[in-house]
């Protein structure tokens, strides 16, 4: 059975993330979306809520499951016998940082290969940070977050 792990902060999950997840779900028998605590990013939405949102967003995708890991991604890969890390790149700058992360991860855990998928043009400007900014000022985030979740995400992000 082919499988991959899509790690991220998902603070909150966006249509850009979902586009990647749906594309990966066609390529792999099983996709695990794993909420990671990024030590370089101060989280906005509590991790339990982010998990809840991810579960709702992925509910209709039978071969996608949601998980959480508070440690090193390479330990997660090893512990779960996973070999493929899925990441996205919205532009060349992001490709470079994803490329560096892929090299480091492979040095720590040689079994872990990274698949970097280019963002779809319609979502290449969508980011969790933009969603947070718009919601903080009461703007509409409907075009950027998964269907049916805008109200809940808006409530979590409004100041």
48-56, 123-131, 134-142, 149-157 -> range binding ligand ADP (CB under 6 A): 123-131
Q: What element of type H or E holds 128?
A: helix 128-136
Which lies closer to ligand ADP via its Cβ, residue 1 or residue 130?
130
- Contacts of residue 54, defined as CB under 8 A and 6 or more positions apart, other chains included, come to 10, 13, 33, 35, 66
| Per-residue contact flags (x/-) with ligand ADP for residues 77 to 116, judged by CB under 6 A | ----------xxxx---x---x------------------
Q: What is the DSSP letter of 137?
A: T
Segment near ligand ADP (CB under 6 A); pick from 12-20, 23-31, 47-55, 132-140 = 12-20
Q: How would you classify residue 65: left for phi > 0, otherwise alpha for psi between -120 and 50, otherwise beta? A: beta
Which of 58, 105, 128, 131 is close enough to bind ligand ADP by CB under 6 A?
128
Q: How many CA atoms lie within 13 A of 142 on its CB side?
A: 1
Which is closer to ligand ADP, CB of 24 or CB of 154?
24
Distance CA 130, CA 143 (A): 12
Q: Is the bond preceding residue 12 a cis peptide, omega within 30 degrees?
A: yes
Q: Are strands 84-89 and 30-36 parallel, antiparallel or unpaired?
A: unpaired
Interacting residue with ligand ADP among 34, 123, 154, 157 (CB under 6 A)? 123
Region of 22-30, 52-60, 119-127, 132-140 interacting with ligand ADP (CB under 6 A): 119-127
Q: Per CB under 6 A, does 50 bind ligand ADP?
A: no
Q: Could you list the residues that contact ligand ADP (CB under 6 A)? A: 8-10, 14, 16-17, 19-20, 38, 41, 87-90, 94, 98, 119, 123, 126-128
């Amino acid at each position: 059975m082919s499988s991959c792990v899509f790690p991220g902060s998902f603070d909150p999950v966006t249509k850009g993330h979902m586009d990647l997840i749906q594309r990966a779900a066609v390529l792999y028998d099983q996709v695990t979306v794993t909420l990671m605590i990024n030590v370089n990013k101060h989280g906005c939405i509590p991790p339990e809520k982010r998990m809840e949102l991810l579960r709702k967003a992925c509910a209709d995708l039978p071969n996608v499951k949601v998980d959480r890991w508070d440690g090193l991604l390479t330990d997660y890969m090893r512990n779960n016998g996973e070999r493929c890390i899925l990441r996205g790149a919205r532009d060349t700058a992001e490709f470079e940082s994803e490329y560096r992360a892929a090299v480091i991860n492979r040095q720590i855990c040689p079994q872990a290969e990274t698949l970097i998928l280019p963002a779809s043009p319609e979502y290449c400007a969508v980011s969790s940070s933009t969603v947070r900014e718009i919601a903080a000022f009461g703007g509409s985030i409907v075009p950027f977050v998964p269907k049916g979740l805008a109200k809940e995400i808006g409530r979590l992000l409004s100041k």
